[in-house]
Amino acid sequence: MTDLLNNPIFNDETKAREWLEARVWPEGPTCPHCGNADKAKIKALEGKAHRPGLYQCAECREQFTVTVKIVFERSKIPLTKWLAALFLMTASKKGVSAHQVHRMLGISYKSTWFMMHRLREAMRTGGLEPLGGKGKVVERMKPISARRRPCTSLKRAAAVPTRRKATL
Gap between the Cα atoms of 26 and 48, Å rounded: 27
Residue type (1 letter), 151: C
Whole-model pTM?
A: 0.71
**Residue 122 binned pLDDT confidence (cut-offs 50, 70, 90):** confident
Q: Are 121 and 86 in contact (CB under 8 A)?
A: no
Strand order in 63-64's β-sheet?
42-44, 55-57, 63-64
Q: How confident is the model over 47-60, as pLDDT tens digits? A: 999 999 999 999 99
Gap between the Cα atoms of 116 and 124, Å rounded: 12
